């Protein structure tokens, strides 16, 4: 089992894309340098100061849902953060934390480690394609019997406007 080492202080989109481009990460351990506490406090303060709603400021109740539990429901994907995974197995050593707005206007946090979704969201972020109306779907079953999830653009007739 190899080790993938992050050289900078945070797991960011550029690093995720570099790691995905490097090949198969399944079964590898992953470590990241601890973030400077002063820098983390500064980022938290900036997030609070830049809040555009009470939900943004107060976290909308802290409701975090796995994308697998929110399939076939369009949402406005506004941004992504990355977290190191502590789940052992064949998956990626990190996962996406999606910051979204539902059709009802509710801010929500969805998480996923699905490779295709992580890859697509990282590309969208790197290319400045947020916000975007999307939805998670079940992809075709794999030969091993898994039901992976994927991310697709929501149809125009499913959303109030396209991002």
Q: Which pLDDT value is given to residue 18?
A: 83
Q: Which pLDDT value is given to residue 114?
A: 93
Q: Which residues contact 46 (CB under 8 A, 6 or more apart)?
A: none
Q: Which pLDDT value is given to residue 112?
A: 96
Which tens digits make up the pLDDT trace of 96-118? 999 999 999 888 899 999 999 99
Under 8 Å between Cβ of 55 and 102: no
Q: Token digits for 63?
A: 């409701």
Distance CA 105, CA 59 (A): 14
Q: Which pLDDT value is given to residue 150?
A: 96
Backbone angles phi, psi at 89, to 5 degrees: 145, -160
Which tens digits make up the pLDDT trace of 132-141? 999 999 988 8
Q: Which residues on neighbouring strands pair with residue 77, listed in sequence order?
A: 100, 132
pTM of the model: 0.76
């Amino acid at each position: 089992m190899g080790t993938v080492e992050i050289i900078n202080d945070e797991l960011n989109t550029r690093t995720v894309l570099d790691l995905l481009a490097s090949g198969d990460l399944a079964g590898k351990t992953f470590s990241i340098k601890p973030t400077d506490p002063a820098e983390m406090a500064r980022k938290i303060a900036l997030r609070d100061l830049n809040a555009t709603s009470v939900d943004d400021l107060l976290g909308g109740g802290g409701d975090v849902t796995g994308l697998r539990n929110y399939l076939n429901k369009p949402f406005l994907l506004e941004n992504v953060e990355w977290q190191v995974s502590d789940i052992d197995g064949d998956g990626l050593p990190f996962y996406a934390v999606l910051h979204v707005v539902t059709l009802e206007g509710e801010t929500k946090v969805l998480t996923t480690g699905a490779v295709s979704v992580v890859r697509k969201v990282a590309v969208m972020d790197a290319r400045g394609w947020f916000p975007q109306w999307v939805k998670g779907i079940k992809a075709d079953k794999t030969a091993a019997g898994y039901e992976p999830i994927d991310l697709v653009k929501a149809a125009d007739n499913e959303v109030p406007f396209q991002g």
